[in-house]
Structures are given as C-alpha cells and as structure tokens.
Structure 1
Amino acid sequence: MLENTAFMFDRSFMNDPISDILRLASAESVVSGGFTAGGDWAVRFPAPDRLKFFAAVRGELWLGLETEGTTATRVTAGDVLLLTAPERFTLGSDLSRTPIDAQAVFAEQSRPIVDAGGGDDVLMIGGHVRFDTAYAPMVTEALPPLIHIRGDTPDASPMRWIIDRMVDESTEDLPGGGLASAQLAHLLFIHVLRAHLAAGGAVRPGWLRLAVDPRLAPALRLMHTAPGKNWRLDQLAQASAMSRTIFAQRFRSAGGIAPLAYLAHWRMRLATRALRHGDATVASLARDLGYASESAFSHAFKRIVGVSPSHYAASQSYNGRVSHRR
C-alpha cells in the first residue's frame, strides 16, 4: 500500500496540501541573527538565494527593493517581512544615505545580534527558509516578491510571542538554543504564510491558490491523501459540490492545470522525491501510485519529468556521489 512506502508522509494525523508541499520541499527555517542600529543609517543586503525573513522587534525603519518602480516600505515594531524575490535590498532609517554593506557588518562580529552602528533604537532579527532545490520553485513561484505582515493586525499577535522567544534564544546561552531557534523560525514562517492568506494576499495560480480555495480544497485533499487511487473527475467534483464542468473550469482557472493532470504531476513529484532518496523501486512506485504496470508508470514519468525513472534515479545517485566526494 502507498501509505506504507518510506517516501510517503506520515498519515497518523490529519494533513493538508500546504503541509504536504512544504514537507515535499523539505522546508527548513533558520535564524541567522540580527542587528541593532540607531540615528541615521542604511545597510544594503545581497540578493538572497532563498526566502529571507526579517522581524522588527523595536524601532522604525524603511525597506527598499532595487526593482525599478517599487516604493519603499515603512516597517514598524512587530512587523514581519518575507522576501521571496532574489534581488538586493536596503534597510535603513534613511534610504537616501549611502548604505554600508551587510556582509562587512556581519563578518566583523561573531555575536548573533551585531551592532550596525549609531545605537540600538532599532532591533531586527532575521533568517531564511531553505528548500530542496528540486522543489523550491513550487513555493517561491506561488508567492509575491514581498509579504509584509503588519504588527498591529490580529494575525500578527501570535508572531509577537514567537519573535520575543527568538530574541531570547539568540541573546541567551540556553541549552538546545540552536534547535529551538530553528523551530521558532519555522513556526514564524507558517504564521506569515497563514496571515498573508487570511488577509487575501496575492497568490499566483497554482497549488497554493487551489489549497486556499474553500470549494476546491476538499478535492485537492483527496488527491494528496490518496494519490494512488484511481480518482475520476466526477468523484472530485462531487467532493467540491460542483458539476463536472464547473469543477474542471474552476480548478483550471485557480491551478493553471486540469484536475487529473494535477494528480499526475503530484504523483510524479512524489516519485521523484522517492527516487532522489532511494526509498522505493520503480515497481513499488508504479503499484503504489496507481499505475497498472511499470511500463505505464515509466511512460507517465518520462512524459512529465522528461527522462525515464531509471535515468532519473541514476542521475541522482551520480550527483549524490559527486557531492559526497566534494
């Protein structure tokens, strides 16, 4: 059975498609530290190669992105920022000032909270969210370039507790501090995502828009819970309380893909993860993902992924050996 194969998620508790995607992408949040500043200041940060988050513990400042035409964002205490765009940005009290380089600021000091100069009117703490490179685009492409959760909104209330604990873990030498910080950062990321969705924030067509659509989510959950089942369009439409035609149209509009095509792609994402980790054979994947034969599974895999399962598995094994030797 599919639920017994090692690559599947733990079904001992209720899951949801967003949790499934984040697990598939091996989402891992890390607190990288923070800084204090005061007076007139500006710090320029390099373009992040992963999702970057900042939480304003105290003070006021501005965020400026380098994209032409974007306006500066005012940040106040309690605000949380999630940057998904891979572009340089500046934080400061006055963005017209010549900024200092963030790498130089952090390289010169070994403490988790560094002094960026001028005092401590502002305290920022930050980190990043890493994903498996094969699945990172699923998350980053679903979100806008910048998410800004304001500290005075109801959804920010639980974040304030998390931020305070993150500061404690960063400034005090507590047992298990590294693990606690990582868990708190991950929880903060989830709350930022929830707050953005609850506020009706921008979501691009795809799996995330499907997951937050109350009419389509039940069908999506069925496909994620039992991807190996031979789902028919009428069964999925019935779960969403729609006719086949209306369901198919609404699903494609929100997800950018037809329902059964989404199911096929979800199966292949699970299959690639299993092959990357060496958790299953082609025969077991074919059986557990609902294909009548290895040949049928291999044909579907090559059509969607671009190579055969055996070639994909061999390439992942080779890449792993090269990485290990390095």
Structure 2
Amino acid sequence: MDVLPPPAPRPPGWGDPIAETLELAGARCVLTRGFTYAGRWALAFPPPGRIKVHAVLEGTTWLVMDGVQEPQPLQAGDVVVLAGDRRYVLASDPAVAPVEALPLLKATVEPFHHTGPPGVRDVTALSGHVELEAPGKDLLLGALPPLMHMRAGSVEAPAVRWLLHEAFHEMREDRPAASFVADHLARLLFVHVLRTFLAEADAFPAGWLRALADEQIAPALRLMHGDPARQWTLAELARATAMSRTSFADRFKAVAGVPPVTYLYNWRIRLARRSLWREDTPVAELASALGYASESAFSNAFKRTTGMAPRHYRHSARMAGTAPVPVAASSGSGSP
C-alpha cells in the first residue's frame, strides 16, 4: 500500500479547519447587553442578520422563533446561537403578547436592561453577537443551522457556565479593561458552543462544519487544510479515510455539499481573498503558494469566483476598508 509522504512542518493549529475558518472569518464574539427580567414579559427581536448569542445565567425563559415549530425553554446555563434572518421572541411565557425590544434597548445605554417590577429579578441573561469579516462570512453563516441550543447538561456546560459568570461580573462591575476581558471570554464561549454541536453532524446542514463533525470525512479535510497547495487526488484523500474512492466521493458530497475537488477550490479562493485584503503578497507569489501553475491560471480562477481580478479585488478592499463580497455567484465548480 502506498504511504503518503509526511507533511512539511506547519505552525500550531495548521490543518484545523475550525480554527482556520474562525481566523479566516475574523470571528469575534461580542457580549453587547445584559438582561434581567421579572413578572410576565415578552420581547420581540428583529432578524439579527448575523450570528446572535443568548445565554441564560439564572431562571427560565422561553424562545419562540420563526420556522421553529415548538417554543424552546431555556434553563439556567443554556446557550442558544441564532444564525440567519429569522425574527424571534424571548418571553416568560409563550402566551404573553410581545413588545418590540429595539426601541426599549435604544432608550438606554446601560449595560443591563431590566424588564418588570423594579428591584425584582427572576431571570438574568447575556446577549451578544459574532462579528465576521467578509472573506469567511458566507462560509461560517452557511454552515450553521438557524438555531443551536446548547443545554446546561452538555459536556461543555461546566466551562460555559464559568465563562458566562466571569463575563457577567466583568460587565456588571465595570472593572478595568472589562470590555477586553469580556470579549476574550465571549470568543471562548462561542468555541465551546461549536464543539458541542460538532458531536452531532446531523445538527448542521451540508457544509464544511458538518463534514468536520463527520469522523469518516474529517481526516481528508485536515489533509486539504494542512496543505491546500497540494494537488490532492481522490485516491489519496480516500486512502486517508480508509474508504474506496467511490464511497469517499459520495460520502464527502453528502456531508460537505460539494465534491472534494470543489471544496479545495473554494478554500483556496477564500484564502486568497483574505491574503489580498490583509497582506501585500505579490499576486504571482500568492498563486504559487496556493498551488496554481501560473499567475494567469490563478487570476482566471479568482475572477471566475469573485467577479474581480486579484489586483482589482485588493484595491477595492483597501479603498473600502473591508473585503468585497464575491459578485460572480460562482459555485466554485472550476478546476482548483
């Protein structure tokens, strides 16, 4: 049996698709508001248009979300992550008629908002969102289901409860560098939530995250992420997963949503977008680093996917201060 050559030395974390995608997306979880509730109440929130995080520290509340058939009870220690554009309601009881939350929140700059009789607290919660940079925004948002509910009894729950309480104290007591500390705690919180759901591949739609959660496919993903410039063959990737080429190809497309070659192509383009936006690497050097035989081959592939030539993309990104979103609507079906 042929043996794959050992990979070249890589920095720590190289080949970890989760870590690399969070870095690519510039994922940054920010705790934006604390909530205390008492009595009967219900607040309606508009579609977040981003990844929203809501964590219950004490008490019980209910989540009612468009497209989710049953109201979800949220207990102390539970965390929910909402991805996409669906309106939702947080309430003491699903039967309570909600009021719009944003006008109430905009009326005060206090870090904690209270709903109900003064001096009474039945529920304490923290809310925040995940900020994403354009190069990986579509990748991360497209991989997450509309609702992820991490229950207090899950394996990650003890660490998450500690993080929540630390963030709560930082926000409530307004300690020196509190926002800096809370931001780092919130990043860890989001990673723990993702780890919880990686144990259940079926919780995700077809995509890179579901593929990573699939034990059969994950070895192939790590190979491609560990050396994206290599011209990986179907035989090599299948051998790494101990599957036949046909079984591997079918399994990969079922869980990743695209064939292996297309996945590698898309990943290279996303790496290129990040590099063009953040770095001054010459286009020819970037093309070689990503496994393209020539600068023109890379430029053609990049333009086919993003609608812009690499140099134009870099110029537009620098002028706008953010990476442009691809406009070509390509599925990335071209050659890597």
Is the shorter-chain TM-score for this pair beyond 0.5, marking a shared fold?
A: yes
1:221-232 equivalent positions in 2, closer than 5 A: 221-232=222-233
267-276 vs 190-199, greater mean Cα deviation: 190-199
The aligned counterpart of 2:170 is: 169
Distance 2:251 2:60 in 1: 43
Distance 2:13 2:277 in 1: 25
- Distance apart, 1:108 and its partner CA: 3.2
Question: How has the CA–CA distance of structure 1 residues 107 and 261 changed in structure 2, closer, same or farther, with 3 Å as cutoff?
Answer: closer
Question: How has the CA–CA distance of structure 1 residues 263 and 193 changed in structure 2, closer, same or farther, with 3 Å as cutoff?
Answer: same
- Distance apart, 1:100 and its partner CA: 2.8
Summarize deviations over 1:10-39 as a string: whole Å, max 9, x none.
823455101111110100100112111111
Distance 2:59 2:104 in 1: 19
Summarize deviations over 1:211-269 as a string: whole Å, max 9, x none.
11212111111111111122222222221122222222221222122212211211111
The aligned counterpart of 2:331 is: none
Residue identity opposite 1:26 in structure 2: G
Question: How has the CA–CA distance of structure 1 residues 15 and 120 changed in structure 2, closer, same or farther, with 3 Å as cutoff?
Answer: farther
The aligned counterpart of 1:107 is: 106
Distance 2:254 2:66 in 1: 32
Secondary structure of residue in 2 paired with 1:307: coil
- Distance apart, 1:178 and its partner CA: 0.8
The aligned counterpart of 1:3 is: none
Summarize deviations over 1:154-212 as a string: whole Å, max 9, x none.
33222111111111111112222111101111111111111122245511111112211
For structure 1, the residue ranges without an aligned partner over 5 or more in a row are 1-9
The aligned counterpart of 1:215 is: 216
TM-score by length of 1: 0.89
- Distance apart, 1:303 and its partner CA: 2.8
Secondary structure of residue in 2 paired with 1:260: helix
The aligned counterpart of 2:156 is: 155
Contact 2:200–2:213 (8 Å) recurs in 1: no
103-112 vs 206-215, greater mean Cα deviation: 103-112
The percent identity for this pair of structures is 42
Matched, 1:180 2:208: no
Distance 2:172 2:202 in 1: 33
Distance 2:318 2:58 in 1: 48
Summarize deviations over 1:106-145 as a string: whole Å, max 9, x none.
2333331221223211111111111113422211221111
Residue identity opposite 1:34 in structure 2: G
Secondary structure of residue in 1 paired with 2:156: helix
Distance 1:100 1:302 in 2: 47
Contact 1:77–1:151 (8 Å) recurs in 2: yes
10-19 vs 233-242, greater mean Cα deviation: 10-19
Contact 1:64–1:91 (8 Å) recurs in 2: yes
The aligned counterpart of 1:133 is: 134
Q: What is the CA RMSD across the aligned residues, in angstroms?
A: 2.1
Distance 1:317 1:56 in 2: 40
TM-score by length of 2: 0.86
Secondary structure of residue in 2 paired with 1:141: helix
Distance 2:261 2:198 in 1: 25
Count matched residues.
312
- Distance apart, 1:102 and its partner CA: 1.8
Distance 1:155 1:13 in 2: 21
Contact 1:105–1:116 (8 Å) recurs in 2: no
Question: How has the CA–CA distance of structure 1 residues 12 and 19 changed in structure 2, closer, same or farther, with 3 Å as cutoff?
Answer: closer
Residue identity opposite 1:264 in structure 2: Y
Residue identity opposite 1:114 in structure 2: H
Residue identity opposite 2:126 in structure 1: I
Residue identity opposite 1:41 in structure 2: W
- Distance apart, 1:294 and its partner CA: 0.9
- Distance apart, 1:55 and its partner CA: 0.9
Secondary structure of residue in 1 paired with 2:303: helix
The aligned counterpart of 1:256 is: 257
The aligned counterpart of 1:73 is: 72
Secondary structure of residue in 2 paired with 1:154: coil
The aligned counterpart of 1:6 is: none
4+ long deviations beyond 3 Å? 12-15
Contact 2:45–2:101 (8 Å) recurs in 1: yes
The aligned counterpart of 1:56 is: 56
For structure 2, the residue ranges without an aligned partner over 5 or more in a row are 1-9, 325-336
Contact 1:61–1:92 (8 Å) recurs in 2: yes
Contact 2:198–2:209 (8 Å) recurs in 1: no
1:1-326 equivalent positions in 2, closer than 5 A: 11-13=11-13, 15-67=15-67, 70-118=69-117, 119-320=120-321
